[in-house]
Structure 1
Amino acid sequence: MVNHQHEHSVGEDPKVTPTVEEYLESIYNMTVDEGKPAIAARLAQRMGVSPVTVFDTVKRLKGEGRGDGFVIVDEKSKEITLTERGKEVALSLARRHRLTERLLVDVLGLDWEESHEEACRLEHSISPRLEEALTAFLGNPQTCPHGNPIPGSGAKIDPRAHPLNEIAAGSDIIVIRIGEEAEHEPGLLKYLQQYNFVPGVKFHVKGASPFNDVVTAINNEGREITLGVKTANKIWVLPVDH
């Protein structure tokens, strides 16, 4: 991750810096990939900074009101949304990040929990030429290793998918994607990969109890995995019809 220090002076137009890219990508992931509102408190938690820092940074990202800003903040709901300029930057970084993860996992053999952090370090240095070469070398992949669509690849989020915690016990499912929110938890990524709870693998939901705050699933090999409800909410699956 980048060092989230202030990189603008008050009154300056917002420039595209690594910190700006990280903020915009996080807002994009929250609102588009996760379908949740981006508010300062959640953004602070995601970025690992204080709410005051987020407030100050978002204020700068709004620009000077001349159409040069990256975000818009709703005065009533306080929800943060991307302008077209902000979305363009966010999509560019998300593409570089997910392509880099594919390289690290598929070619270099890194584990999930390592690939995300390493991709965060490398993504800001990838030029358009290198991105083009990387795409060709990898065969124009559609998703990152965790199943999230790579912007520009033509892949879309499957609207039929549901968070695992919404699936009833007794259902058969196929794992579609591990949300970006979960990628910020290296221990969780390691746990999911260890139990082969990865995109494309089928599982049977053995138990789902919101009262016990756990979801238990079993794969075709008889391996059982137990996840907390909050964690299951970050994993998107598709019910399998018989």
Structure 2
Amino acid sequence: MLSDVMEDYLKAIYTLQEESDGPVATSDIADYLDVTPPTVTSMVEKLTDRGLLEREKYKGVELTDEGETVALEVVRHHRLLEAYLTEHLDYSWSEVHEEADRLEHHISEEFERRVAEVLGEPEVDPHGDPIPGADLAPIEADDTTPLSDHETDDRVVVARVSDRDEEELRYLDRAGISPGTELEVVDVAPFGMVTVRIASDEADAGDEQSLPESVARSIRVRAVTEEVA
């Protein structure tokens, strides 16, 4: 049996691997989990001894196949819970992350199955993140890029938004930006502000919003194609 903390580490490393597509530095794990580097080093040694991580000196750590399977199960629980909380218990998308963090380690496989069934076997959570299937097969890399990587006049559609910052999600909610929202990049300031215009047929279409670079970096988008347009 793994402790909740061990599962948290595996989930964090999985998330960071998604973003970096390679070994994850212990300093990045420490920042992500808000713990000290020595604490990370100690836990990495434990998880490596259990065969859940591979560690390469000076490069970082990666999940083994077994470690990835454990991480995918925790991620599946987390994202299903986020979807259930928003759809059936009237939580806003800014509130569900911490609740799901608390519950994800403690639900049974039967409860997970029933939640997935009630939700209609959803493929994504409220923030657009893909939900691993019941078979816990690895999720294929998607074609999204951070909004902060785009230039003036680019037209994009929001695919995913980080669920980790409650205030940031409230800000985006007020701005009318969520998965599925089509945006046009109006301006990219030299000091990090990205101004976008909502370009869809929604009620607030045409509104302009200036997003700090850190917020724009947490929004993953796809270029608008003729089919989307």
**Which residue, out of 59, 68, 88, partners 1:107?**
88
Q: Which runs of 5+ in 1 are unaligned?
A: 1-14
**Which residue, out of 198, 201, 206, partners 2:186?**
206
Task: Name 1:223's counterpart in structure 2.
Answer: 207
Alpha-carbon contact 1:69-1:86 (below 8 Å) kept? yes
Q: Which structure 2 residues correspond to residues 1-150 of structure 1 after superposition, within 5 A?
A: 15-33=1-19, 35=21, 37-63=23-49, 68-77=50-59, 79-150=60-131
Deviation at 1:35, TM superposition (A): 3.4
Q: In 2, Cα distance between the equivalents of 1:90 and 1:230?
A: 26
Name the amino acid aligned to 1:75. Answer: K
Q: C-alpha offsets along residues 131-158 of structure 1, whole Å, 9 cap, x if unaligned?
A: 0011000000000111110011789566
Number of equivalenced pairs: 219
Deviation at 1:241, TM superposition (A): 3.3
Q: Which runs of 5+ in 2 are unaligned?
A: 200-204
Deviation at 1:183, TM superposition (A): 2.2
Q: In 2, Cα distance between the equivalents of 1:92 and 1:196?
A: 31
Task: Name 1:232's counterpart in structure 2.
Answer: 216
Name the amino acid aligned to 1:216. Answer: T
The alignment-based identity, stated in percent, is 32
Q: In 2, Cα distance between the equivalents of 1:83 and 1:23?
A: 13
Deviation at 1:101, TM superposition (A): 0.2
Aligned-CA RMSD value: 1.9
Task: Name 1:196's counterpart in structure 2.
Answer: 176
Name the amino acid aligned to 1:149. Answer: P
* Structure-2 change in CA distance of 1:112 and 1:37 (3 Å): farther
Alpha-carbon contact 2:22-2:62 (below 8 Å) kept? no
* Structure-2 change in CA distance of 1:36 and 1:216 (3 Å): farther
* Structure-2 change in CA distance of 1:203 and 1:158 (3 Å): farther
Deviation at 1:76, TM superposition (A): 3.2
Q: In 2, Cα distance between the equivalents of 1:34 and 1:225?
A: 28
* Structure-2 change in CA distance of 1:197 and 1:34 (3 Å): farther
Name the amino acid aligned to 2:56. Answer: D
Task: Name 2:202's counterpart in structure 1.
Answer: none
Q: Which structure 2 residues correspond to residues 156-167 of structure 1 after superposition, within 5 A?
A: 159-167=142-150
* Structure-2 change in CA distance of 1:224 and 1:189 (3 Å): same
Q: In 2, Cα distance between the equivalents of 1:158 and 1:82?
A: 16
Name the amino acid aligned to 1:135. Answer: A
Moved more, 18-27 or 33-42: 33-42
* Structure-2 change in CA distance of 1:155 and 1:101 (3 Å): farther
Q: In 1, Cα distance between the equivalents of 2:52 and 2:138?
A: 25
Q: In 2, Cα distance between the equivalents of 1:141 and 1:174?
A: 20
